[in-house]
Structure 1
Amino acid sequence: MLTTVPTLLVGAVFGIALAAPPGPMNAIIAEESVLRGWTAGFRAGIGAMLADVVFFLGTLAGVVAIIDRYPIIRPALYLVGGVLMVYFAVGAFRDARSASGFVADTDGPSRGFEKTFALSLTNPYQIGFWLTVGVGLLRPGTLDVFAHVPGIGTALEGALVVQTGSAALLAGFFVGIVLWIVSFPAALVSVGRRIDAFAPIVSLLSGVVLAAFGVIFLVAGAGGVI
């Protein structure tokens, strides 16, 4: 018990650190939160986390490793993911133009779950994580937590090294993701209720992020295919 709790906490820190950096998933979660309320934002976060669960199970079964055996799969995923991101970016720009103030329309149509789930399943970076770090979480050894966090890299390398191969570490990892997808939409909704222009601004920024990543994915995919 004495070692389980710290391991859970470390896993939670790792999960939050990986979930928090700006990217396509958080862009969709943000847009859903400010336009349709906390529930929609949380559902979008669940879509991304469910994909992680799928990859986790695929890693256990050895299915995810098949991607490394067939080089054509990765660039194809880049292309599919890039097209989806650009498509969702157009929708975000449309929402930004039509949004007026904060709209807590929890009964309105929301496709955040479907968007994040589809993007996550076609995200080579996410797949790459489970092929490398994810596999490491399952096997006995050590993990330098912050070395794998986007935006931190070598700055905090060696600051938090944890033993892997523990069920508590994996449980903490997913607990950390849940904490993020609960608190991030809540914070956005809270700010949105105070600032009238917040919803269209967030939608616009979400569109920019999705479009930028979409172009990056399309270029990477085209380069891999060619």
Structure 2
Amino acid sequence: MTALAGMIFGLALAAPPGPMNAIIAEESVVRGWMAGFRAGLGAMSADVLFFVLTLAGAVAVIDQFPVARPLLYLVGGVLMLYFAVGAIREARAAATFTADGDHAVSTGFRKTFALSLTNPYQIGFWLTVGVGLLESGTLDVLSHVPGAGAALEGALTVQTGSPTLLVGFFAGIAVWIVVYPAALVAAGRRVDAFAPVVAALSAVVLVGFGLLFLAIGALRIV
């Protein structure tokens, strides 16, 4: 039960729309499943790194510097806008889904890894909920689902501080980065216009989050 709860938690956090899934989607429909998986692996690798740093107490150092989070918002916002430009180019160039996309050059891993390292929300998660996963106690798993936490509060509560919970958590993320690109590739093979549309939507998501992050960073510095 604990491992299953951890897996549900990992899936619930990985699945909502956002800049990471936008990049995974773009890579998947333009370059194939392997490229999408590598992009997902970049975001997951950052989570593993944050987990290790949380375990060592290093992530908490960020909160000792008030200017750190605003700067992360600004850097993350600039990166998202930069990657959005690439997504727009992909949308123009990708006339259809490329079955041989797995063999094309992919920078998805570097993109998602860099974005994750500058994502204040991801860092904030490991400073709060992530610490709670490591300590003995209880965790209301579904209350932390982005956008739906309030409605799901109290639906699934588990004991924390268990290695089984952590294994399940990362297993849930792993399932997502395998299944999500596969679903996109399957759809791309059936609909010729799928690749440019997804690449364009990915660009829109990245621009939206990039502008949001820049606005938040600027307001927090002021």
TM-score, normalising length from structure 1? Answer: 0.97
For 1:99, give the aligned amino acid.
A
Q: Deviations over 1:72-121 (max 9, x none)?
A: 10000000000000000111011101111101321211000000000000
For 1:68, give the aligned amino acid.
D
Deviation at 1:171, TM superposition (A): 0.4
Aligned match for 1:211, one of 193, 201, 207: 207
Q: Deviations over 1:125-180 (max 9, x none)?
A: 00000000000000000000111110212101001001000000000000000000
Aligned pairs (5 A) from 1:65-214 = 65-104=60-99, 105-214=101-210
Q: List gaps (5 residues or longer) in structure 1.
A: 1-5
CA distance in 2, matches of 1:138, 1:118: 25
After TM superposition, the runs of 4+ consecutive aligned structure 1 residues lying more than 6 A away are: none
Aligned match for 1:42, one of 33, 37, 41: 37
Counterpart secondary structure, 2:103: coil
For 1:165, give the aligned amino acid.
G
Moved more, 16-25 or 104-113: 104-113
Q: Does 1:57 align with 2:52?
A: yes
Counterpart secondary structure, 1:162: strand
Q: Does 1:8 align with 2:3?
A: yes
Q: List gaps (5 residues or longer) in structure 2.
A: none
Counterpart secondary structure, 2:159: strand
Counterpart secondary structure, 2:96: coil
- Indicate the RMSD between aligned Cα atoms, in angstroms: 0.6
1:3 corresponds to which residue? Answer: none
Q: Deviations over 1:16-52 (max 9, x none)?
A: 0000000000000000000000000000000000000
Identical aligned residues as a percent:
70
For 1:59, give the aligned amino acid.
T
TM-score, normalising length from structure 2? Answer: 0.99
Count of residues in correspondence between the two structures: 221
Deviation at 1:225, TM superposition (A): 1.5
CA distance in 2, matches of 1:174, 1:208: 28
